[in-house]
Each structure stands twice: as structure tokens, then as C-alpha cells.
A and B are shown apart, each in its own frame.
Chain A
Amino acid sequence: MRDKLLFALGAFAIILLTRNIYVISGLPQEASQGAIFKIIFFHVPMAITALTCALVAFVASVLFLVTKNFVWDAAAVAVTEVGLAFLAGNLITGSIWGRIIWGIWWTWDARLTSALVCWLLYAGYLMLRRAIEEPTQRATFAAVFSIFAFIDVPIVIFSIKWWRTQHPQPVFWAGGSFPKDWSAVMGWNLLAIMALCAVMAAVRLRQEEAQREIDSLRRMAHAL
């Protein structure tokens, strides 16, 4: 049943993504930026998806520390790993847009730097997990680290408001003026990317469950 649901959600995400790519390719070019502007339809949903993953990881980490239930630890690691892949996509699409519009691949402004720090923090979270053998200690340290890493998420979001940055100001909030019909396309693409992320996180969660099963089988093998 769970497999069928995942398969259906995955198929829905891929069909919706294909439809969105077709719609986006048919949209007119932006007046001053040209075709490269269309990268925003992937850049922004990838960022929202990655930061939503960070939020879920934060909640799961808090719940693990409160309940000591390993399901929450598995959920935290699953969403963190998938979110990291989407954040990498976001950073790369942004860099390619910057090369055309700014003439540079990278600049150390507040938004870009805080997003890179966010990526490095969550990569550090995954490395920390590999470094600790004992499962309870690993899950506890990782949960504390994940809560600490989440501090960077509001900084990433509001950096363009708090500091003067080269990164553009928000187009969807704080007085942004993204065209309404384009916002609908953006919404559909966000839905598709979120669905894809949910499928990937669910598969990764299942793998964590399998890993726990392996750990318990190993303990049994040692006991025999």
C-alpha cells in the first residue's frame, strides 16, 4: 500500500513537472533579463523545498529529544539529506543566473553566503552522523546539531531584508510584484518539486528503517 502511494505520488510529480516545463518554455521572455529569468521557476521552489526540509528536520529533532523515539531521528536524517540535494540545486541555478545577470558566478553577499553556510551546516550534520557509532548518542548529538543549524534558516530567508544585498529583493512577499499568471505557474512547479521531495524523503526514511533492522539483526547475531 505504502509502495503504491509512493509510486502514485512520484508519477504525479513527474507528470506535473513535465507539464510545467512545457508551460514555462511557452512563457514570454522577461523584458530586461531575457530567457535566463525562467530559471526562477526552479530556483525559488528548490529553495522553498530545501528550507521546508530544514524546518521538518528541526521539528523531528525536537521531537526526538522529547520522546527518544528513533522514528523522529530517521525522519530528520531523511529530510535533511533530500533537502541538501535541493539546496545544492538552488545554489547552482542561482550561480548560473548570476553569471549572466551580474557577470559573476558568486559574490559573498548575505543571502548567498548564508545559503552556502546552511548547506555546509547540514552537510556537517550528515558527516557528524557518520562519525558516531553508538545509535542513541548519534541520534542525540545529531538532533542537537540540527536544532543549532536551523538558526541559519531565518537568516537565509530574511537576509535580503536585513542587509543590503546584491541578491534581488523578494518578488513574492514584502511588496514584490511577480505577475499573477506567472505566480500560478510558480505555484504548480513548487507543488511538483515538493511532491518529488516527499517521495525521495519517504524512500530515504524507509532506508533508515532498514538500517535499524540491520542494526537489530547484528545485535541478535552477536547475542547468539
Chain B
Amino acid sequence: MYALLLQTAEDVTRELVRLQRNYEFLSYGLIIAWVILVIYVLMMVQRERKLKREIASLKAMLEDRK
């Protein structure tokens, strides 16, 4: 929209490149932020499974000893 108000073709091209770069970096920012959280959630899921396995094996061991 602002590109239309600019005077030379060079200015228009520069503005379009700026807009393109702007969107590119916006998407990088959002993707990285959410990927961090998804990785953390996956780590939590893995930890949950490990804890459940450990509880089950300890309970089984205690049953055997009794």
C-alpha cells in the first residue's frame, strides 16, 4: 500500500523486498517460538512415560519381595 505512494520503481522494489523480509522474519519468529514449546511438550510426554514405567517396575518388584 505504501509502495504506491513512493515515486521511483527502485523505491517500489525496495519497499516490496522490505515487506517480504518482514513477513519472512515474522514467520521465523513465530515458528521458532512454537517449536520450542512443542519440543518441551514432547519432552514432558517422554518423561511421563518413563515415570509410569518406573512406578510399574518398582511396584512389581515390591510385590515380588512380599
CB–CB B26/A217 < 8 A:
no
Task: Please indicate the chain B residues that have their CB under 8 angstroms from the CB of A220 in the complex.
Answer: 62
Contacts between chains A and B (CB distance < 8 A), count? 85
Given B22, B36, B66, which contacts A85 in the complex, CB threshold below 8 Å?
B36
Task: Please indicate the chain A residues that have their CB under 8 angstroms from the CB of B62 in the complex.
Answer: 217, 220-221, 224
B6 at the interface (CB under 8 A from A): no
Number of interface residues of B (CB under 8 A): 30
CB–CB B37/A85 < 8 A:
yes
Given B22, B28, B30, which contacts A34 in the complex, CB threshold below 8 Å?
B22
Bound-complex Cα distance A63 to B62 (A): 34
Can you name the residue of chain A whose Cβ is closest to the Cβ of B18?
A: A34
Bound-complex Cα distance A132 to B12 (A): 61
- Interface bracket on A: 20 to 34
A124 at the interface (CB under 8 A from B): no
* Chain A residues numbered 185-224 whose CB sits less than 8 Å from any CB in chain B: 196, 200, 203-204, 207, 210-211, 213-214, 217-218, 220-221, 224
CB–CB B51/A211 < 8 A:
yes
CB–CB B44/A217 < 8 A:
no
Task: Please indicate the chain A residues that have their CB under 8 angstroms from the CB of B55 in the complex.
Answer: 210, 213-214, 217
Can you list 9 A-B pairs with a CB-CB distance of less than 8 A? Answer: A33-B22, A36-B22, A85-B40, A86-B37, A96-B25, A97-B29, A100-B22, A200-B44, A203-B48
Hey, which bits of chain B sit against chain A, CB under 8 A? 18-19, 21-23, 25-26, 28-30, 32-34, 36-37, 40-41, 44, 47-48, 51-52, 54-55, 58-59, 61-62, 65-66
4 nearest interchain CB pairs?
A96-B29, A89-B33, A217-B58, A34-B22
